[in-house]
């Protein structure tokens, strides 16, 4: 029983990062109707930013979030201006299709560049407090993972407030719902697209920092993180940020449960099976409306 | 004669390869209420889309208040003081009435005055004040049309464009909508209303245009045009 | 393509082992293998508009089945046929549910399914599949080269036939607009399924040839998404929805990869990723359309007054 609880707790802690990764992907998809399959590679870049800040200057990984986020925001702006922004005039279906293809090419480029620049080795950030744990009865919780979950939750709460309470956030939601009507409100739709894409990238950057501190990074982690994010988005729909976060935690728990009950390999399979099942049961309404 | 608020000179436009406007000329004076009528496919809505900046014309010029606005994106046109209430209202259904109105006042020109404008709008449409927390998608058809107009007014336009405001509404609600339009016009806002349904539009307008097949086929005082439209209808079948 | 050029190419391909050294024949084999992979993907994506990101599953199943049977003593031709059939059956299993999905959902759905398969294979068959000594002793490159050449000819011929058939017209109608295709009487689900089965069988054949060709490999490698990604790259590079684009893309892809891999293994991925993005954005017709684009650019240049 205690081993179960321990496993589920670990799953939930990892799941918070899935939620964070998924919200970035969902934000871009909901607003621009583009599926950036290089989202996982952006997470990888965020992870390396944190890794190098720590290795070169001993920057605390939770402080380096403040660098990785804005840095990936800038990367997002550049990617939008150089690549994805060229698709905005297309019809929805071809826009999604082409964005997948561009994301795919981008993923290859980022993956290969990361290997060339930093080798294919696995890296992690081991802060001074890395070994510390919190105990609750028999339950052991590593402090870095708890911190990652807390930061993920805080970032998403901040994003929620931004989208709900500010003019810029409302403009993003309005654009997601009906870009043409939004432009009739005086909202510069293309600038909103760019902001949303950059915000999605920044969220990937923050997620990457947290992955580097609580887990490990390598140039190859991109695809699996993109898949995790996709699974969570499919589970949660595009309805709400909180829903996505909860779905992420649930996926983490389900993975742990599957690994514990059936064997380690099922950790990776369970999410994919859930994903395929939901896809086939709801072929049209995959991503719910609104934001 | 004063400078027209809105002037279209030989506007031509197309969707893809299909040209739908062939040299449309409009002249709208300050404070006028102008109705544009004609059968389905006449190009009325397309002309409004061109004015609002949603569609770039192939040829021709659009002048607003003495400056050229054709080719400007929609958000820049709003900043100049033109607001379009689109066909089908296009409210943000998943957002509240208040959020819709706040978005209506997003334009930099209108934002500093947003609180005041909101009070004015609630004064004009008391029902929106009562339901400000409700999701826009849950309002009745008439209330949705009111919200769409109110949202457009939030940008403090000097020219209000209405695309099929009476579409799908009960006759008594149509009268309410045009009652509000008349009040808006009295405040000094110029109004251009496009309608397939000739009666309500020409009843409440002083002057109008009759369009067919992407061209203006007649213009004049509302009463004259009403007769022409009725005769035309027997030919064109609109 | 002009008949004379086609004949010349065919003669060159058949004569290659007699005029060139082993290394060149090996390169030729790799190019031809990728021609099969590319054409099989092109059939469904280029004509039917369905971007299948789980293509590696069919390649992997073909490799697994063919290699097991062949190593068990079945003649290679029969083993390869069985591999192709097994891949087509898998195509049925994957296609029946996933072809109800539209556009991008089909793409990510198939990717997920092939990943499931890969992980299952990686777990159940973790050992390297190596040829026993007697098979290695009898190993010759020549029959493998001609087998792959035949497969490349068959797959290109299949695409050529489909492109000219009523069936192919139906597929193209679905690609352009599925709703419109349905309203003019094209049964889109059946068309897509048929195309997927043929595509899967061809990919299974390619996998089978791969299993016959390699001395040793991890079974999961044949299921790696890399095979899908290579197909996507080659087809877009050469020209999607054309008969001759994918072979051009495959040749370009393999030869450049071999040239670049001499320096740095990752460099070719970087180069291809970048080229791919440029092709998607700026040259949707692919290399096969490059001449056409140049001609159009020249033609549309305004005349000096």
pLDDT in tens, A68-82: 999 999 999 999 999
pLDDT tens, position by position, B7-45: 999 999 999 889 999 999 999 999 999 999 988 889 999
Q: Among all chains, which residue has been given the structure tokens 């209303």? A: B193
Q: Is it the case that residue A286 has pLDDT exceeding 70?
A: no
Chains in contact with C, where contact means 3 or more Cβ–Cβ distances below 8 Å, are A
Is there a contact between C82 and C74 (Cβ–Cβ < 8 Å)?
yes
Beta-carbon contacts of C1 under 8 Å, excluding residues fewer than 6 positions away, are: C243, C244
Please judge whether C270 and A112 are an interchain contact, meaning their C-beta atoms are less than 8 angstroms apart: yes
Q: Is it the case that residue B213 has pLDDT exceeding 70?
A: yes
Whether residue A113 lies within 8 A of chain C, CB to CB, comes out as yes
Please identify among residues 173-232 of chain A the ones whose CB lies closer than 8 Å to any CB of chain B: 173-174, 177-178, 180-189
d(CA A42, CA A85): 17
Please judge whether A105 and C107 are an interchain contact, meaning their C-beta atoms are less than 8 angstroms apart: no
Please judge whether A112 and C269 are an interchain contact, meaning their C-beta atoms are less than 8 angstroms apart: yes
Q: Half-sphere exposure (CA, 13 Å, Cβ side) for A262?
A: 13
SS3 B161: strand
Please judge whether B91 and A181 are an interchain contact, meaning their C-beta atoms are less than 8 angstroms apart: yes
Q: Which among B207, B196, B107 is positioned nearest to B153, based on CA atoms?
A: B107
Task: Give me the total of CB pairs closer than 8 Å, taking one residue from chain A and one from chain C.
Answer: 110
> Per mean pLDDT, which range of A231-240, B58-67, B153-162, C52-61 is the poorest?
A231-240
- Digitized pLDDT (tens) for each residue of chain C, 305 residues in all: 677 888 888 888 887 888 888 888 889 999 999 999 999 999 999 999 898 999 999 999 999 999 999 988 889 899 999 999 999 999 998 888 888 877 777 888 888 888 888 888 888 888 888 888 887 877 888 889 999 999 999 999 999 999 999 999 988 988 888 888 888 888 888 999 999 999 999 999 999 999 989 888 888 889 988 899 889 989 998 888 999 999 999 998 888 888 877 667 778 788 888 888 988 888 777 777 776 666 665 554 443 33
Whether residue C117 lies within 8 A of chain A, CB to CB, comes out as no
Segment A200-228 mean pLDDT: 91
Please identify among residues 216-235 of chain C the ones whose CB lies closer than 8 Å to any CB of chain A: 225, 229, 232
Listing DSSP states for A81-110 in one string gives HHTGGGGTTS-HHHHHHHHHHHHHHHHHHH
As given in the structure block, the two tokens for residue C169 are 């017209």
Give the β-pairing of A133-136 and B33-37.
unpaired
Q: What are all long-range contacts of A49-54, with beta carbons under 8 Å and residues at least 24 apart?
A: A49/A205, A49/A208, A49/A209, A50/A125, A50/A208, A50/A209, A50/A212, A50/A213, A51/A123, A51/A124, A51/A125, A51/A212, A51/A217, A54/A125, A54/A127, A54/A212
Closest Cβ–Cβ partner in B75, B84, B106 for A167: B106
Closest Cβ–Cβ partner in A171, A183, A185 for B73: A183
pLDDT band at B238 (very low <50, low <70, confident <90, very high): very low
Beta-carbon contacts of A136 under 8 Å, excluding residues fewer than 6 positions away, are: none
Sign of the Cα torsion A180, A183, A185, A191 reads: positive
Listing DSSP states for B6-43 in one string gives EEEEEEEEEETTEEEEEEEEEEE-TT-EEEEE--TTSS
Helix A39-57 to helix A189-214 angle (10° resolution) is 50
Q: Which residue has the higher pLDDT, A24 or C106?
A: A24
As given in the structure block, the two tokens for residue A243 are 């829903």
Q: Among all chains, which residue has been given the structure tokens 């679905």? A: C174
pLDDT attached to residue C262: 67
Please judge whether C272 and A108 are an interchain contact, meaning their C-beta atoms are less than 8 angstroms apart: yes
pLDDT attached to residue A84: 94
pLDDT attached to residue B235: 47
Q: Which among C120, C92, C108, C44 is positioned nearest to A279, based on CA atoms?
A: C108
Q: Which among B156, B171, B162, B168 is positioned nearest to B111, based on CA atoms?
A: B156
| A near C: at least 3 beta-carbon pairs less than 8 Å apart | yes
| C near B: at least 3 beta-carbon pairs less than 8 Å apart | no
H helices present in chain B, as ranges: 44-52, 74-80, 97-104, 114-124, 126-130, 141-153, 171-186, 198-204, 222-236
The residue count of chain B comes to: 238
Residues of A in contact with B92 (CB under 8 A): 173-174, 177-178, 181
Please judge whether B75 and A189 are an interchain contact, meaning their C-beta atoms are less than 8 angstroms apart: yes
Please judge whether C51 and A98 are an interchain contact, meaning their C-beta atoms are less than 8 angstroms apart: no
Q: Which among A82, A63, A52 is positioned nearest to A198, based on CA atoms?
A: A82
Residues of A in contact with C257 (CB under 8 A): none
CA A13 from chain centre, in angstroms, equals: 15
Please judge whether C109 and A107 are an interchain contact, meaning their C-beta atoms are less than 8 angstroms apart: no
pLDDT band at A288 (very low <50, low <70, confident <90, very high): very low
Is there a contact between B103 and B147 (Cβ–Cβ < 8 Å)?
no
Q: Is it the case that residue A33 has pLDDT exceeding 70?
A: yes
The ranges assigned to domains in chain C are 3-300
Residues of A in contact with C93 (CB under 8 A): none
As given in the structure block, the two tokens for residue B40 are 């389905």
From the CA of A98, how many Å to the nearest CA of chain B? 21
Residues of A in contact with B75 (CB under 8 A): 183, 185-189
pLDDT tens, position by position, A171-207: 999 999 999 999 999 999 999 999 999 999 999 999 9
What is the rounded average pLDDT for all residues in chain A? 88
Q: Is it the case that residue A284 has pLDDT exceeding 60?
A: no
Measuring CA to CA, how many Å separate A254 from each of A8, A224, A259, A268, C117? Answer: 8, 16, 8, 10, 19
Whether residue C120 lies within 8 A of chain A, CB to CB, comes out as yes
Task: Give me the total of CB pairs closer than 8 Å, taking one residue from chain A and one from chain B.
Answer: 71
As given in the structure block, the two tokens for residue C302 are 């305004």
pLDDT attached to residue C293: 65
CATH architecture of C3-300: Orthogonal Bundle (1.10)
d(CA C220, CA C117): 9
Is there a contact between A53 and A236 (Cβ–Cβ < 8 Å)?
no
Residues of A in contact with C229 (CB under 8 A): 104, 108
In degrees rounded to 5, what are phi and psi of residue C72? -85, 0
Dihedral of the alpha carbons of C172, C178, C184, C189, in degrees to the nearest 10: 90
Segment B90-97 mean pLDDT: 95
Chains in contact with B, where contact means 3 or more Cβ–Cβ distances below 8 Å, are A
Q: Which among A12, A4, A5 is positioned nearest to A252, based on CA atoms?
A: A12
Q: What angle do CA A255, A256, A258 make, to 5 degrees?
A: 65
Whether residue C126 lies within 8 A of chain A, CB to CB, comes out as no
Give the β-pairing of B6-15 and B18-28.
antiparallel
Residues C61-100 as b/e (b if ≥16 CB within 10 A, e otherwise) read bbbbbbbbbbbeeeebeebbbbbbbbbbbbbeebbebbbb
Q: Which among B17, B42, B1, B8 is positioned nearest to B212, based on CA atoms?
A: B42
Biggest CA-to-CA distance, chain A: 59
pLDDT band at B3 (very low <50, low <70, confident <90, very high): confident
> Mind spelling out the 3-state secondary structure of chain C?
CCHHHHHHHHHHHHHHHHHCCHHHHHHHHHHHHHHHHHHHHHHHHHHCCCCCCCHHHHHHHHHHHHHHHHHCCCCHHHHHHHHHHHHHHHHHHHHHHHCCCCCHHHHHHHHHHHHHHHHHHHHHCCCCEECCHHHHHCCCHHHHHHHHHHHHHHHHHHHHHHHHCHHHHHHHHHHHCHHHHHHCCCCHHHHHHHHHHHHHHHHHHHHHHHHHHCCEECHHHHHCHHHHHHHHHHHHHHCCCCCCHHHHHHHHHHHHHHHHHCCCHHHHHHHHHHHHHHHHHHCCCCHHHHHHHHHHHHHHCCCCC
In degrees rounded to 5, what are phi and psi of residue B14? -145, 150
pLDDT attached to residue C200: 95
Segment A24-39 mean pLDDT: 92
CA A206 from chain centre, in angstroms, equals: 8
d(CA A18, CA A22): 6
pLDDT band at B145 (very low <50, low <70, confident <90, very high): very high
Please judge whether B94 and A170 are an interchain contact, meaning their C-beta atoms are less than 8 angstroms apart: no
pLDDT attached to residue C149: 93
Q: Which among A1, A28, A34, A13 is positioned nearest to A198, based on CA atoms?
A: A28
Chains in contact with A, where contact means 3 or more Cβ–Cβ distances below 8 Å, are B, C
pLDDT band at B232 (very low <50, low <70, confident <90, very high): low
pLDDT attached to residue C298: 55
């Amino acid at each position: 029983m205690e081993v179960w609880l321990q496993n589920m707790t670990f799953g939930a802690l990892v799941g918070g990062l899935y939620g964070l990764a998924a919200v970035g992907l969902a934000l871009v998809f909901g607003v621009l109707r583009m599926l950036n399959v290089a989202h996982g590679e952006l997470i990888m870049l965020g992870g390396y930013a944190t890794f190098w800040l720590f290795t070169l200057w001993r920057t605390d990984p939770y402080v380096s979030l403040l660098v990785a986020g804005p840095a990936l925001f800038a990367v997002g702006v550049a990617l939008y201006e150089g690549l994805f922004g060229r698709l905005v005039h297309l019809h929805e279906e071809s826009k999604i299709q082409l964005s997948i293809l561009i994301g795919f090419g981008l993923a290859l480029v980022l993956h290969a560049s990361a290997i060339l620049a930093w080798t294919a080795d696995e890296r992690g950030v081991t802060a001074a407090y890395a070994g510390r744990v919190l105990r609750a009865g028999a339950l052991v919780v590593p402090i870095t993972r708890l911190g990652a979950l807390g930061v993920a939750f805080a970032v998403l709460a901040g994003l929620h407030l931004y989208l709900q309470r500010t003019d810029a956030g409302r403009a993003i939601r309005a654009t997601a719902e009906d870009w043409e009507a939004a432009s009739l409100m005086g909202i510069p739709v293309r600038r909103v697209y760019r902001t949303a894409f950059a915000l999605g990238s920044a969220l990937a950057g923050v997620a990457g920092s947290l992955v580097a501190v609580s887990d490990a990074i390598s140039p190859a982690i991109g695809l699996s993180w993109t898949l995790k994010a996709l699974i969570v988005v499919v589970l949660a729909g595009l309805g709400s940020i909180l829903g996505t976060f909860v779905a992420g935690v649930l996926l983490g728990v389900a993975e742990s449960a599957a690994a514990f009950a059936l064997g380690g390999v099922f950790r990776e399979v369970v999410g994919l099976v859930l994903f395929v099942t939901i896809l086939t049961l709801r072929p049209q309404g995959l991503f719910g409306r609104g934001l | 004669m004063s400078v027209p608020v809105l002037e279209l000179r030989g506007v031509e436009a197309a969707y893809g390869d299909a040209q739908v406007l062939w040299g449309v000329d409009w002249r709208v004076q300050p404070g006028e209420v102008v109705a544009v009528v004609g059968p389905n496919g006449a190009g009325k809505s397309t002309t409004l889309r061109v004015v609002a900046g949603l569609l770039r014309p192939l040829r021709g010029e659009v002048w607003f208040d003495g400056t050229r606005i054709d080719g400007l994106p929609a958000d820049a046109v709003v900043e100049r003081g033109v607001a379009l209430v689109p066909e089908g209202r296009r409210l943000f259904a998943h957002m509240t009435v208040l959020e819709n109105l706040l978005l209506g006042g997003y334009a930099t020109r209108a934002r500093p005055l947003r609180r005041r404008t909101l009070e004015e709008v609630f004064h004009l449409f008391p029902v929106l004040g009562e339901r400000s927390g409700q999701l826009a998608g849950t309002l009745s058809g008439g209330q949705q049309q009111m919200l769409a107009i109110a949202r457009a007014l939030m940008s403090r336009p000097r020219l209000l464009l209405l695309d099929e405001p009476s579409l799908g509404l009960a006759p008594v609600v149509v009268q309410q909508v045009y009652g509000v339009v008349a009040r808006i016009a009295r405040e000094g806002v110029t109004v251009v209303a496009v309608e397939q349904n000739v009666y309500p539009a020409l009843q409440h307008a002083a002057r109008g245009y009759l369009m067919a097949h992407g061209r203006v086929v007649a213009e004049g005082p509302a009463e004259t045009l009403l007769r022409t439209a009725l005769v035309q209808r027997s030919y064109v079948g609109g | 393509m002009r008949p004379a050029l086609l004949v010349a190419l065919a003669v060159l391909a058949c004569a290659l082992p007699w005029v060139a050294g082993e290394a060149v024949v090996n390169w030729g084999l790799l190019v031809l293998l990728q021609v099969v992979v590319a054409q099989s993907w092109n059939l469904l994506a280029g004509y039917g508009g369905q971007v299948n990101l789980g293509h590696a599953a069919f390649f992997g199943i073909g490799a697994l089945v063919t290699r097991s049977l062949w190593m068990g003593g079945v003649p290679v031709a029969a083993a390869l046929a069985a591999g192709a059939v097994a891949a087509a059956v898998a195509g049925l299993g994957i296609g029946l549910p996933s072809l109800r999905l539209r556009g991008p959902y089909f793409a990510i759905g198939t990717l997920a399914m092939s990943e499931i398969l890969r992980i299952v294979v990686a777990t159940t068959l973790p050992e390297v599949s190596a040829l026993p000594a007697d098979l290695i002793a009898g190993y010759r490159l020549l029959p493998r080269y001609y087998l792959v050449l035949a497969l490349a000819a068959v797959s290109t011929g299949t695409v050529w036939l489909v492109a000219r058939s009523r069936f192919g017209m139906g597929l193209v109608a679905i690609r352009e607009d599925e709703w419109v295709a349905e309203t003019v009487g094209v049964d889109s689900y059946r068309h897509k399924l048929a195309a997927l089965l043929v595509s899967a069988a061809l990919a299974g054949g390619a996998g089978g040839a791969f299993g016959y060709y390699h001395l040793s490999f991890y079974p999961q490698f044949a299921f790696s998404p890399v095979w899908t990604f290579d197909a996507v790259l080659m087809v877009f590079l050469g020209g999607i929805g054309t008969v001759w684009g994918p072979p051009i893309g495959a040749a370009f892809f393999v030869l450049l990869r071999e040239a670049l891999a001499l320096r740095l293994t990752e460099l070719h991925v970087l180069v291809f990723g970048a080229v791919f993005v440029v092709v998607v954005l700026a040259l949707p017709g692919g290399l096969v359309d490059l001449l056409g684009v140049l001609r159009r650019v020249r033609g549309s240049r305004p005349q000096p007054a």
